[in-house]
Amino acid sequence: MGQAALDSRRARVDEYLQHLQAGRRLSPHTVSNYARELTVLIAELEDLAFERMHNQHVRRAVARAHGKGLSGKSIARRLSAWRSFFRWLDRHYGPVVNPVNGVRAPKSPKALPKALSPDMAARLLDMPATEPADLEPANIQAANIRDKAMFELFYSSGLRLAELIGLDLVAARSIGAERDVNVLGKGSKTRNVPVGAKAVQAIDAWLAVRAQLARPEEPALFVGARGGRISPSMVQQRLREWGKRLGLAVHPHMLRHSFASHVLQSSQDLRAVQELLGHASIAATQVYTHLDFQHLAKVYDAAHPRAKKK
């Protein structure tokens, strides 16, 4: 591949990524995922121009990725990124036939999201806080109170990690007064979610000591060891530490899954759970009906006289 041709392709990809960031206002994490998949596309092209890529080239790329052990879900995400890129090329540099159209990712066994039981969620959140190793002793208690507030809010309101990190201090006023909060979700869409009593108490406790960690004028509700907005990796690390003491491998999204599963078990209202989670499609929420069925099946097996195993 000539260097000039390679530079030209990279320039097109960079222009598209700028469109995603500035035009569509996608999150940096999402743009980074697109960038990674389009880097793979450039490598797959070899000496082909974008305009000369055909359906069979995409199918061969899918077969190679599947042969290397890439999951069907990961391949589907890659194809989605490529398909969107070629649609953009057609609009701005067309006409370009989209070579990804009609290509499907291989099916993988559908893994259900892992959720804690209500009892295990309560045990996790009611544990005494752990001590972060990267803080001075005077700040350890404040960090413990912060962690408690973050994890209570995750489970109380079903937030995504990026949504929790993105909350500003002004949001805390709404949490305290109205027991709800506006969050900025995927695609820059906002939604209002309720906040439970235990989460409100935990956040009030955090606000009382936040100044011990936060830099002056820092707008973020939750801050890290250096006083700025807390990072995703720090939230994940702290929750892992909490979970280890119960022998659990816990991550932030597991608390979101637990929220959805437990609300659905109690309410049987799939549409309400969809709204609370901020899912654009009901199909994304329907996975929790399978979790709910598992719960009901266990109850049936334990209670029905003709279902009990001898």
Of the listed ranges 14-23, 26-35, 255-264, the least confidently predicted one is 255-264
Question: CB of 121 within 8 A of CB of 255?
Answer: yes
Among 112-126, 135-149, 215-229, the range of highest mean pLDDT:
215-229
Q: Find the mean pLDDT for residues 176-189.
A: 74
The mean pLDDT value for 37-66 works out to: 84
Q: Per the structure block, which two tokens stand in for 21?
A: 């960031």
Buried b (16+ CB within 10 A) or exposed e, 112-148: eeebbeeeebeebbeeebeebeebeeebbebbbbbbb
% pLDDT > 90, the chain: 22
Chain centre to alpha carbon of residue 230: 16
- Residue 306: the pLDDT is 44
Residue 294 — pLDDT band, cuts 50, 70, 90?
A: low
73 phi-psi bin (left φ>0, alpha ψ -120 to 50, beta other): alpha
Q: Is the pLDDT of residue 296 over 50?
A: no
Q: How far apart are CA 156 and CA 179, in angstroms?
A: 11
- For residues 235 and 161, the answer to whether their CB atoms sit within 8 Å is yes
For residue 35, what pLDDT is reported?
93
CA angle 262, 285, 176 (to 5 degrees): 55
Q: Are strands 190-194 and 180-184 parallel, antiparallel or unpaired?
A: antiparallel
Q: Give catalytic residues, as residue numbers.
A: 160, 186, 253, 256, 279, 288
Average pLDDT, the chain: 81
Say if CB 182 and CB 190 are below 8 A apart: yes
What are the pLDDT digits (tens) for 121-143?
888 888 776 555 555 555 778 88
pTM higher than 0.75 for the full model?
A: no
Q: What is the mean pLDDT of residues 222-245?
A: 91
Q: Sorting pLDDT into bands at 50, 70 and 90, what band is 304?
A: very low
CB-based contact 252:154 (threshold 8 Å): yes
Average pLDDT over every residue of 197-217? 90
pLDDT at 283 over 70: no
Question: Are the C-beta atoms of 239 and 165 separated by less than 8 Å?
Answer: no
The mean per-residue pLDDT over the stretch 107-112 comes to 64
Give Cα separations from 126 to 45, 121, 246, 249 (angstroms).
54, 9, 12, 17
Q: Name residue 253's amino acid.
A: H
Contact 285, 268 (CB under 8 A): no
Instruction: Answer yes or no: are the C-beta atoms of 257 and 113 closer than 8 Å.
Output: yes
**Number of other CB atoms surrounding residue 158 within 10 Å:** 23
Check whether 307 has a pLDDT greater than 60: no
Cα four-point dihedral sign 255, 261, 265, 267: positive
Tell me the CA distances in angstroms from 27 to 24, 101, 259, one per residue in order.
9, 26, 24
Question: Which residue in the block uniquely carries the two structure tokens 């099946």?
Answer: 297
Residues 6+ apart with CB under 8 A from 48: 57
Q: Where does residue 279 fall: left (phi above 0), alpha (psi -120 to 50 degrees), or beta otherwise?
A: beta
Q: How much is the pLDDT for 309?
A: 54
Tell me the HSE value of 96 on the side-chain side, using a 13 A CA sphere.
20
